Amino acid sequence: MILSDTCDLENTLTSGVTRLPLPPAGYALHQQRWLTTNASHCLFQHLQSEIEWQQPEISLFGRSVAIPRLQAWIGDSGADYRYSGTRFQPSAWTSDLDALRSRLSKELNRPFNSVLVNLYRDGQDCMHWHADDEPELGDAPCIASVSLGALRDFRFRHRAGQQKSLTLPLGDGDLLVMGGDCQRHWQHCLPRRKRVTSARINLTFRYIST
């Protein structure tokens, strides 16, 4: 169990967890190999073949564009998600994702009712700068992110440019938890990396107010 306390999540650390302060009141917690190599590989294969991948279009600067990755929105009934002018209704949980959701809820002592699954087919697929600050996520959401497959750089930047940007390499089986006021003051992205030729799947577990 890496985290446990309900009231003071960012200070309940044990060995193997790295804390990244994101001032003024945000943080990210990183644990390498939260999933074993075998568990990560099996989950990757399951998701790659079983998920009904989509490439939706979003509104960007007044025009519709296809996102540069594949994705699926999965969750409890009613856990709808609105992003960049598009409303996503959840598909049903797979047994593996539901089991992973249960493990995260137990270890982090947080409820999760949905997960955004992103497939980055190679280094040309990316996620642009944004924050997970949609109203249905609440004022200080806890976002639990699990990485599978290729190593990719994950970047943070302060919205007002008052702090240095940070780059965190996320590898196979890694867990990243963003909490506090992280989403209010910081943005994050997954930039393109031409040298990356293999796929990565990322799972971001959230709680949607329904």
Band of pLDDT at residue 64, cut at 50, 70 and 90: confident
Q: pLDDT tens for residues 77-87? A: 999 988 766 78
Domain 2-206 has CATH 3.30.2290.10: no
Report whether pLDDT(119) > 90.
yes
In 3D space, the residue among 78, 65, 178 whose CA is nearest the CA of residue 131 turns out to be 178
Q: pLDDT tens for residues 126-161? A: 999 999 999 999 999 999 999 999 999 999 999 998
Distance CA 87, CA 110 (A): 25
Structure tokens at 17: 């967890």
